[in-house]
Amino acid sequence: MIIFPNAKINIGLHVTGKRGDGFHNIETLFYPVGLTDIVEVIPLPGKKTEMSLLDHSGVSIDCEPAGNLCLRAWSTLNERIAIPPVKIHLHKIIPLGAGLGGGSSDAAFVLRALREIFSLDLSDEGLSEVAAGIGSDCPFFIYNKPALGTGKGELLEKSEIDLSGYKICIVHPGIGINTGWAYSMVKPGKHDTPLKEILKNDPAMWQGRVMNDFEQAVSGSYPVTIDIRNKLYEEGAFYASMTGSGSAVYGLFEANTETGGFKEKFPGMFVWEGTL
């Protein structure tokens, strides 16, 4: 089975408090985008206790195969429901350390593929519980629809926000941001208005209102993120922001805005353009 795990962007991200378990509470809007990796999952004959295999191509992955989230998806599900081993080939396109959720998406899509391949009696809710054991934003990719995330990001509430038809440009400067470091740079605190309420404004009014708490913290060490955001505004974006804890930055454009040629405008950087 060949699957295409897609990236996400965060539209607003408030870090509201430090938890007793060492994690942070957040509020954010997860929104799926069309930038994808490519994953092939093939069942292997053998005993159910055998390990699955992984190889990869594309963007270099700096971890041992056993630590890859695709294999963690298989092993986590196998702990709950014994399933045969599989061979996984991951062709990595989504940049790493970018805040685009590529690894979490790969894992969630592998879970979805395993459910289908082995005809498992697992609802989306049940699969989401498995996904939560892999990563905080993995559950979002089980549903893969716009959702407000709270808690660590694993508590999801369906969102009616629809950006269909808007254009998007994602720019990654080639810098990998360590999530733990990024959280250490943010001072958690309540915002005057919950993100859910701010997002009720017309998207054209989001600029200056819908904030990502990581932007200021990360830009102190990596000012290129703000440079990219400002350039996207200069090119006509009605809203631009860093996604997640960075370092990718995206711009949203009205459907009738003339866009294109962004690769030339951001030389040496990863650039992806599409329509939501």
Question: Which residues are catalytic, by number?
Answer: 8, 137
Tokens encoding 187 = 């001072």
User: C-alpha dihedral over 120, 122, 123, 124, to 10 degrees?
Assistant: -90
Q: Tell me the sheet residues that pair with 31.
A: 9
| Separation of alpha carbons 134 and 271, rounded Å | 28
Exposed, middle or buried by CB within 10 Å (0-12, 13-18, 19+), for 144? middle
3-class secondary-structure state, position 180? helix
Q: Tell me the sheet residues that pair with 36.
A: 6
Confirm if 94 and 100 have CB atoms less than 8 A apart.
Answer: yes
* Burial annotation 209-226 (CB, 10 A radius, 16+ → b, else e): ebbbbbbebbbeebeebb
List Cβ neighbours of 151 (8 Å cut-off, separation of 6 or more): 25, 26, 136
Nearest to 143 by CA among 109, 110, 166, 172: 109
Confirm if 41 and 114 have CB atoms less than 8 A apart.
Answer: yes
Q: Tell me the sheet residues that pair with 41.
A: 88
